[in-house]
């Protein structure tokens, strides 16, 4: 049975976008972010994070740093009974300084690759699923994957998600 899902962009949606974030000491949740994830969990939707992480390609941090930050985020969410079903990130960039990461790929938003990979792995219902991002490239990635995309402009993510969930049901 296919389940609906919410795909969250990370920087600018779940946390304040400070540019090339990989340190938990600099991480700040956006207002209502943890509660938004819990609201998604509570209605039975899958919750995913899809995030471009070109800082890896630029040599600013390593993939292990991204995974460590995501593990910490999961721990913080668990404190309020919330969870992310999967974190996906794209470490590539066509102008990378680190050669193995220098490429154009379909996983880097606006490409839909991260979303479509998760949809296949988890048997996601595209009709009831959507993405929340803070950039046009996020919405383009959602459209490329055949789901709705919404721009979040930084107020209260919990209220934003509750409004979208009520429309999706």
Annotated catalytic residue within 11, 85, 134, 138: 11
β-pair partners for 133: 151
- Gap between the Cα atoms of 53 and 26, Å rounded: 16
Torsion angle of C-alpha atoms 91, 96, 100, 105, degrees rounded to 10? 60
Residue spans of alpha helices (H) in 14-168: 33-42, 54-57, 63-78, 113-122, 136-145, 157-168
CB of 141 within 8 A of CB of 114?
Answer: yes
CB of 130 within 8 A of CB of 13?
Answer: no
11 is catalytic: yes
9 is catalytic: yes
Give the residue carrying structure tokens 């990989």: 22
CB of 6 within 8 A of CB of 161?
Answer: yes
Catalytic sites, residue numbers: 9, 11
């Amino acid at each position: 049975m296919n389940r609906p899902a919410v795909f969250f962009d990370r920087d600018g949606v779940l946390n304040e976008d400070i540019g090339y974030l990989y340190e938990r000491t600099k991480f700040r949740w956006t207002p209502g972010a943890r509660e938004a994830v819990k609201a998604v969990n509570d209605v039975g939707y899958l919750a995913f994070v899809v995030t471009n992480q070109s800082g890896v390609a630029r040599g600013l941090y390593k993939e292990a740093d991204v995974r460590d930050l995501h593990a910490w985020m999961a721990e913080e969410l668990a404190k309020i009974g919330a969870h992310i079903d999967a974190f996906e990130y794209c470490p590539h960039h066509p102008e990378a300084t680190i050669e193995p990461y220098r490429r154009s790929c379909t996983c880097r938003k606006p490409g839909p690759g991260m979303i479509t990979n998760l949809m296949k792995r988890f048997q996601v219902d595209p009709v009831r699923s959507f993405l929340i991002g803070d950039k046009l490239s996020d919405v383009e990635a959602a459209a490329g994957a055949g789901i709705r995309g919404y721009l979040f402009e930084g107020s209260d993510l919990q209220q934003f998600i509750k409004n979208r969930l009520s429309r999706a049901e």
